[in-house]
Structures are given as C-alpha cells and as structure tokens.
C-alpha cells in the first residue's frame, strides 16, 4: 500500500475476497505500506503501488495496478 489511498484499499479488498472465495483462505497475505515499511518495500522490489507478488506456486509473478482482472491472478 502507499498510505491510505482508496486505490490501495480497493486492491487489498479484491485480493482478500479472492482468497476467501477461490482459495478458501489457503494463502498468506502480507500488506506492506511503502511509506511505513520502506525497507520491506525495497527488499521485495516494490516500485509501483499497488503491487501483488504471487510467490507460490512458482514462478513468482507480479501484478501491478487496481487488480480488477482477478482471473489473471489465478492463472
């Protein structure tokens, strides 16, 4: 997240809904606020917000933006 913007909140809400509906909460979601946790943002190479990093199953994939297209997140 980048502070408390509406866009960031919307993206987090979409991912949480996706986790509940499709993954039955069989996932771990970590939200990093780039302003409050800049070291974590750098360590995870977050250069744009919102960014979703899907680590498993491999390969690691990054999704940047409002995450409206949740179908691509599951592929």
Q: Residue 4 above 80 pLDDT?
A: no
Q: Is the pLDDT of residue 25 over 60?
A: yes
Domain-by-domain residue ranges, the chain? 6-74
In this structure, the dihedral spanned by the alpha carbons of residues 11, 13, 72 and 39, taken in order and rounded to 10 degrees, is 50
Beta pairing partners, 64 = 51
Cis peptide before 67 (omega within 30 of 0): no
Average pLDDT over residues 20-35: 84
Reported as half-sphere exposure (CB side, CA atoms, 13 A), residue 66 has a value of 6
């Amino acid at each position: 997240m980048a502070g408390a913007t509406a866009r960031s909140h919307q993206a987090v809400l979409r991912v949480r809904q996706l986790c509940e509906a499709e993954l039955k909460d069989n996932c771990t979601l970590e939200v990093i606020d780039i302003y409050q946790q800049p070291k974590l943002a750098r360590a995870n190479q977050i250069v744009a917000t919102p960014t979703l990093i899907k680590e498993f199953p491999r390969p690691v994939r990054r999704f940047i933006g409002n995450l409206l297209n949740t179908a691509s997140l599951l592929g």
